[in-house]
Amino acid sequence: LHSTCQTLSSSSFISHFLSNHLLGFHFEMRSLLLSFLFALAITATVSNISNEVMSKEEKEWRDHAVKLLWDERGKMGHTPLYRIEGAQMPGFPMVDMYIKNETASKSETLKHRFVWALILWAVTEGKIKSNTSVYDSTSGNTGSSEAYMCSLIGVNYTAVIADNLEEEKRDQIKRFGGILYPVPVDQRNKVAAELAYNNSGFFINQFGNADSAEEYHESGGYGMETTNVFHEIATQLNETSKPHPNYFIHSAGTGGTISSVGKYISRYSIQTKVVLADSQYSLFYDYVLNNNYTNVSAGQAGRPDWVKPGIAGIGYGYNPDPIIFQNTTSLLRTVIDEVVRMPDMATVAAMRSLRALNIDGGASTALNFLVSLYKAIVHAEGNDKTPETERMSMVFIMGDPGRFYESTYYNDTYVDHNMAHLGGMKTLNCWKAKIDDAIANGTNFIKNATACNI
């Protein structure tokens, strides 16, 4: 029996063995031997499956990659959180406006913490192995962070980028070892998926998988701390005996960061309101409010056209596919409390207003600030839930540095040429004057906004 069981490989052999050797046994003995043989068969099968799923070498590689990523998390620490001083915002003496400066990360963007979580998720689940080539569609910042993290764990990375992507962002991706694959902007996701399939690689799909990767749990202050940005903000405010902010204000590209914040706030019943800052031609505004565009592709009736150039890395529109949660976006609309849309030219003007305050942020930073400024005005005018006689606080994120946009939004010629349909530099200067006056005197920059539609 021992030698027979050693060669056991299939249920057909068991049937053969029963018919030729066990029929003469007593019924109870046959049942006992049958159970024993099937147990051996199942054990052999499970053993074979385990060996096929992950070899010893792959398991060792995964353990090493995970260790490298956790070591990186320890080095990341907490990015700075600072309050815009009253002298910088004299028009709003009852508002505390905080900036979470994500440009202090190694890849200089908010995406550093997000991509850390995304790569850790993919490695943990076996989607990235030692010989995997990783592909993704990116507006630049995710790409540079993905290049950094892939280089850290020793796998190849290709960034499928828009053919008009800023040179500064291209250089950042190449700096960390990424390979560039330029295509028309509306083809990025499709091409990234095709490249991964044709080369037996992995399309990491930041837009669809951010929801799986982003963390929204409490973890305390130990070495393996969650990367959830609001957890970090709450920790830093608590260290200075400050309460949770009234508002967390952030724009959405993948939607992963603001959704992870919203889920964290909901899970722990924090009273902070989550406000989505959206760009002028983005579909997210109507998606969040009314669940629109979930079954409408670009060019079909009922879906507005995307107007270039938009705000880099922000909003939804250049992707021709419908808005599908966990596929084309990770923006979870049910954890957003409010959405505010701002004109694109006002956002570009706000970049320059911030730079004058020695806050050198990029396009998403300016959009976040503009909506924060709007909420400060609502409070000052007595229309916020918090009375204007009480202090109100908010936090927004500096997502990337202004130097990434020297060739685009900070370039007057670029603005006149690429944003001529919005009035070019004349409109920009009009908005900047209104924003600067709001900062200095607390005026409402949105009132009489049509005056800037030159």
Beta bridge partners, 340, equal 277
| The domains spanning 58-67+111-211 and 70-104+214-452 adopt the same CATH topology | yes
- With residue 34 as reference, give the H or E element that holds it: helix 27-53
- Taking only Cα atoms into account, the Rg of the chain, rounded to an integer number of angstroms, comes to 27
Domain map (residue ranges) of the chain: 2-53, 58-67+111-211, 70-104+214-452
- Percentage of the residues of the chain whose pLDDT score is greater than 90: 81
Number of H helices, E strands in the chain: 16, 10
Q: Domain 58-67+111-211: give its CATH architecture.
A: 3-Layer(aba) Sandwich (3.40)
Q: Is the CB of residue 206 less than 8 Å from the CB of residue 118?
A: yes
pLDDT in tens, 102-127: 999 999 999 999 999 999 999 999 99
Q: Return the pLDDT at 291.
A: 97
Q: pLDDT-derived band of residue 378, with 50, 70 and 90 as boundaries?
A: very high
pLDDT in tens, 281-324: 999 999 999 999 999 999 999 999 999 999 999 999 999 999 99
Q: Return the pLDDT at 224.
A: 74
Closest to 283 in 3D by CA, of 271, 267, 295: 295
Furthest C-alpha separation in the chain:
101
pLDDT exceeds cutoff 90 at 53: no
Q: Return the pLDDT at 9.
A: 42
Query: Sign of the CA dihedral 360, 366, 368, 374?
Result: positive
Using a 10 angstrom Cβ sphere, with 0-12 exposed, 13-18 middle and 19 or more buried, the burial of residue 441 is: exposed
Rounded distance, CA 118 to CA 281, Å? 28
Q: Which fold has domain 70-104+214-452?
A: Rossmann fold (3.40.50)
pLDDT exceeds cutoff 60 at 172: yes
Rounded distance, CA 45 to CA 185, Å? 48
